[in-house]
Amino acid sequence: MEQRAITQMEKSKKMAKADEKFRQAQAQYAKAVKDENERIRKIQDRHKYMMGGCVLKYFPEGFNAYEFNEPEMNRIIACAFSFAGVANLIKTVIKERPKEEQEAEKTDDQNETVETEGNETEETDYDDADGDDTDSENEENDEDEN
């Protein structure tokens, strides 16, 4: 077999074709990343709406949940979940789940953790944002009263 030298014109055509394929692959990858991020955002948004509905549904009568700002709601919810009875109930609910559902959720949680590691934002601890420990003192006083 004879090997012939590639002419400059053929080389340019091959480079142009390869460059076009490369750009298409980049665009396809970018679209896939965008679609995956959109899918994750929709899952997270559905969960946020569901959780917000639960807070409104079980908020004590006589209070309007919309009157509280985010740091205040964080304190209220943190206090509500700090009781041992709530922790025990959460464990009971998890134990009562069907086996297939638990395995599927573990897989989903692992996938979401891997997928969202680069997109997570740092959460702020609003209770300690002012730097004093007055909130923890108030919580101790509340526990003494109960």
- Hey, CA dihedral for 126, 132, 133, 134, is it positive or negative? negative
- What contacts 80, CB < 8 A, 6 or more positions away? 86
CA R_g for the chain: 27
The CA-based angle 115-40-56, given to 5 degrees, is 125
Run of H or E including 103: helix 99-116
Please list the pLDDT of the chain residue by residue as tens digits (146 residues).
456 666 777 778 888 899 999 999 999 999 999 999 999 999 999 999 998 888 888 888 888 888 889 899 889 889 988 888 988 998 999 999 887 665 666 666 665 554 444 444 434 444 444 444 444 444 444 444 44
